[in-house]
Structure 1
Amino acid sequence: MRRKLSVKLGLLFFVLMLLIELSLFVILYTTISSHRVNEVMEGLLAKGAGHRDVLENNFDASTLHHVVLMETEASTDVIITDETGEIVDRSENEESFQTDIVESHTPEPETGDQILEENWGENPYVATVSPIIVDGAHRGDVYMFSPSMTIKNILAHLSEQFLWVMGMIAFVTLVLVFALSQIITRPLVRMQRVTEKLSEGKADVELDERHNDELGTLAVSINSLSDDLERLKKERNDFLSSVAHELRTPLTYVKGYADVASRKETSEEDREKYLAIIREEAEHLTTMVRQLFQLAKIEENTFTIEPSTVRLRPLFDEVKKQMAPSFKEDQHRLLVHIPEDLYVYADAMRLKQAFLNILHNALSYAGEHPEVQVEAMSRDDAVTIRISDNGPGVPEESLPRLFDRLYRVDKARSREEGGSGLGLAIVKEIIEMHEGSVRAFNDHGLTISITLPEEDADDTDSSRR
């Protein structure tokens, strides 16, 4: 079973926060415990210094007894020695460790108060010494002892408090981290559900885009993807519907006229006429299937181009020659204005195919006396080719869809002219494969404008590749 992202994220944040908190607690505990140990040692030194001050004023038996009596009920012990290091008085607690400390210490009155033993972890006592100086002469020393257990109890209590506080903070951190991880991952969970619906073909979903961060940007992208999928789904359905319609009409003609032509009572003259219609519709079907196949190859990236340096004028002369039968009538005119020194980097065969498609389209819709003008110009390292007709143009609302597959402005007239509605769609794909652009606009008729990257006449195929 896969773990939820919120759980993974929560655990990760919790571990990181716990490590940070532990580090801070270790530093804080070390600092405080060291401070508390220093307090005990400084207190012991201060206590020994206080007894020393009293003895410096009155170094006699009664004062010695008074000092020892003061430590009888205290947790600390005192040992007082003379200048030779002999013990003259002490607390009732006679520990061998204390005696060993005194006997091993060499009096050094010039060093003043000092700590003799501070290893409270291994030894039963910590110890300090304060020299007694009377009239400038060393008269003895005051040794103070404090049980190490006192420090251990202080640190144990401190550790208990730290553990309790750390446990509470860890619990609060755990709750907050998992709550925050739920809040952070909630948009991601919604996005997961939306993408699952998208994968199931349900494109009518939308995400909240109010987040002003990467999640908001991702939500916008997913919503855009949803809209694109919905649009593509609609375009696919429209395309399939259009293909079915385009195939149904010629097939209906073929079937109907084939039935009529096969009747015995049909005259030979009518039969030839019906067969001519059948051939015409079959040719229309063949053209449509070929163009659909070309579009399918483009979609599958199997429609390749082999670009080279191409001079436009000779290429269009070939196109004009190929279109000559269509412009053979006196009232049909094809005017070409292309400079001799214009070059593009393109696949000549594919480019010719695009030009032929545009010219066939222009000839079909140009009007009663077709006149098609072709002109080309160079500007800003690009070549613009405009193919204009003298027809009625296209309604403005139809211009954005003119390059859509199977789109027709006038469906009835397109059927009469034999168009498949795929020619301009193929033009758009071919031009975009050449890193160019194509658009349509009205200018005393319809104008198709193609923009391609310009090629320097001195460039060769090898240098360009």
Structure 2
Amino acid sequence: MEKKPRAAKPRKVHLWSSLQTKFALTYIVVIAAVLVLLNTYPLLVSRDLVIKSKQTALQSQASVVASNLAGLENLGLDNRDKVDQIIGDLPDMGLGRIVITDAAGLILYDNGEVGDNVSRYALFGEVTQALRGEGYDVFRCEYRDGAFRSRAAAPVVYRNVIIGAVYFYEYDNEQGGLLVGIQNNLRNISIVICVAALLLSLVFSGVLTSRLATLLRAIRIVREGEYSHRVQLGGHDELALLADEFDQLTGRLQTTEEVRRRFVSDASHELKTPLASIRLLTDSILQNEQMDAETAKEFVADIGEEAERLTRITEKLLTLTRMDTAPPVETEPVDVKYVVEKVEHMLSPLAQAVDVRLRCRLEEGCLVRATQDDLYQIAFNLMENAIKYNLPQGEVLVTLEGTGETVFLRVEDTGVGIPEEDLPKIFDRFYRVDKARSRAAGGTGLGLSIVRDTARQHGGTVTARHREGTQGTCFEVTFPRCRAKGVCRV
């Protein structure tokens, strides 16, 4: 007994490989990047603005003090009183520390609360730069420990000679405190946003992956053969479209499976009938030892007919199988009139034998891109059916014409016609309107299926309807017209 292959076990999705984890991490990384930017950029911009404003204020005030001191012509310990007077006469600048030095860096004035620094040298880099003339205005500011520490220095120039320097120092923790407050507020807001983003990312990723899990479950159900299963997935996003496409796919699979089962059932039934007849006839010959030669000859002839019927069924089944599985064939422009004339020549003896008149009205220049064998098979099946299922002294009219970009091939007969309820089904495989008459005529119920599938392979269509004005049936095949040269007439 042949062993069935075991179904592959579904792979387990690890936590760090799951889409939910990846989506959640993606959301978290994006939110984290936004929060980092939120906590750095505004603070950097605010700090730069404060430093810029302090630079402007300190440098301008240092320049004002330096210009007032330049009128002394000389800065030294002997005119400290004048320096104190000039500084005292200036309006309150609201600054922290002011230091005035002479040309050698000796402190003449210092309002700092760090002791008496007068007569000491100012060991400040800004003062040294100002006395050396390295830039007219020297400024430096740093933000540290929640406070701004600003330093500015300007040289005191008298007749292009540097006679001293002015040094300003400001310790501002108020604006630093504001900046710290902003930083704390942004941090608190970021924590709230981070927690909310984490929860929302888990929720959104969970919703998304749950919908994917629904699709995955549906695929596994369909894989087990439940082609009637459908996905109930709401929404209007891409997953909803995917679910719709999945439902359409399973619908086609269900239809294909039903057609396959019906095809197997019909094929088994069709093959069983001639096989049963052959067996019955052979058993009759074997069991009747006194059968005369004439009767035995008739039984053997019947067996041959049933064998020929089996051959026709199998050949047409093979034809349909090749059409279902074969790759596209190379096509070429074919003159349909030439093909129909060949079929007419082939079927004329059959039409005469059953007393049916075969007439053709064929238009020139009806070219179709196909193969000559396929067009021959289409015309042969339609015209043979029209002859076989016609009435004595009936008529078969074959019309070929081209209109615009379409070629029409019509085959009309004067038979008993096809009931209205059977017209949509006559192209199904093994479907026959009158089974008894079909068997008597040697039909298999596969000819029209071959016509339909062959026409579709070359972009054509085939329809059936009642013949206008009289009884009978009209089959019409349409093809896209071909304007190419190099017509095939083999």
TM range (shorter): 0.7 to 0.9
SS of 2:273's equivalent in the other structure is helix
SS of 1:212's equivalent in the other structure is coil
2:309 paired with 1:288: no
Residue 40 to residue 220, structure 1, CA distance change in 2 (3 Å): same
Equivalent residue, structure 1, for 2:114? 93
- Give 1:143 shift: 4.7
Q: What is the letter of the counterpart of residue 233 of structure 1?
A: E
Residue 358 to residue 61, structure 1, CA distance change in 2 (3 Å): closer
2:140 paired with 1:117: yes
Q: Please list, as runs of the form range in 1=range in 2, the aligned pairs for 1:262-301 lying within 5 A after superposition.
A: 262=286, 263-301=288-326
* 1:154-195 CA-partner distances (Å, limit 9, x unpaired): 766665554444344333223223322333444333222222
- Give 1:327 shift: 1.2
Structure 1 stretch 345-354 or stretch 250-259: which is displaced more?
Answer: 345-354
- Give 1:7 shift: 2.4
- Give 1:359 shift: 2.0
* 1:116-136 CA-partner distances (Å, limit 9, x unpaired): 43255799953246999xxxx
Residue 60 to residue 311, structure 1, CA distance change in 2 (3 Å): closer
Q: Matches of 1:45 and 1:314 in 2, distance apart?
A: 104
The 8 Å contact of residues 98 and 145 in structure 1, kept in 2 or not, is answered as: no
Residue 370 to residue 270, structure 1, CA distance change in 2 (3 Å): farther
Equivalent residue, structure 2, for 1:7? 21
- Give 1:368 shift: 4.4
- Give 1:410 shift: 2.6
SS of 1:328's equivalent in the other structure is helix
Q: Matches of 1:192 and 1:150 in 2, distance apart?
A: 61
The 8 Å contact of residues 375 and 387 in structure 1, kept in 2 or not, is answered as: yes
Q: Matches of 1:461 and 1:364 in 2, distance apart?
A: 32
SS of 1:393's equivalent in the other structure is coil
- Give 1:305 shift: 4.6
2:477 pairs with one of 421, 440, 450: 450
Q: Matches of 1:22 and 1:125 in 2, distance apart?
A: 26
- Give 1:353 shift: 1.8
1:227 pairs with one of 251, 272, 277: 251
Equivalent residue, structure 2, for 1:360? 384
Q: What is the letter of the counterpart of residue 113 of structure 2?
A: E
2:415 pairs with one of 379, 391, 395: 391
* 1:361-393 CA-partner distances (Å, limit 9, x unpaired): 222322344421101111012210100111222
2:211 paired with 1:171: no
Structure 1 stretch 87-96 or stretch 353-362: which is displaced more?
Answer: 87-96
Q: Matches of 1:178 and 1:86 in 2, distance apart?
A: 67
1:439 pairs with one of 459, 463, 467: 463
The 8 Å contact of residues 374 and 385 in structure 1, kept in 2 or not, is answered as: yes
The 8 Å contact of residues 82 and 88 in structure 1, kept in 2 or not, is answered as: no
Q: Matches of 1:426 and 1:301 in 2, distance apart?
A: 14
Count of paired positions: 444
* 1:68-87 CA-partner distances (Å, limit 9, x unpaired): xx99xx99444466999742
Q: Please list, as runs of the form range in 1=range in 2, the aligned pairs for 1:42-441 lying within 5 A after superposition.
A: 76-79=96-99, 86-94=107-115, 99-100=123-124, 101=126, 105-106=130-131, 116-119=139-142, 125-128=149-152, 143-147=167-171, 159=183, 162-208=186-232, 210-262=234-286, 263-301=288-326, 305=329, 307-329=331-353, 331-441=355-465
- Give 1:286 shift: 0.5
Q: What is the letter of the counterpart of residue 87 of structure 1?
A: L
The 8 Å contact of residues 121 and 148 in structure 1, kept in 2 or not, is answered as: no
Q: Give the CA RMSD over aligned residues.
A: 4.3
Q: Matches of 2:354 and 2:154 in 1, distance apart?
A: 132
Q: Matches of 1:147 and 1:333 in 2, distance apart?
A: 119
TM-score normalised according to structure 2 size:
0.75
The 8 Å contact of residues 80 and 90 in structure 1, kept in 2 or not, is answered as: no
The 8 Å contact of residues 429 and 449 in structure 2, kept in 1 or not, is answered as: yes
Structure 1 stretch 217-226 or stretch 148-157: which is displaced more?
Answer: 148-157
Ranges in structure 2 where 5+ consecutive residues have no aligned partner: 1-12, 70-80, 157-163
Q: Matches of 1:228 and 1:124 in 2, distance apart?
A: 75
Ranges in structure 1 where 5+ consecutive residues have no aligned partner: 133-139
Residue 80 to residue 305, structure 1, CA distance change in 2 (3 Å): closer
2:42 pairs with one of 12, 15, 28: 28
Residue 61 to residue 268, structure 1, CA distance change in 2 (3 Å): closer
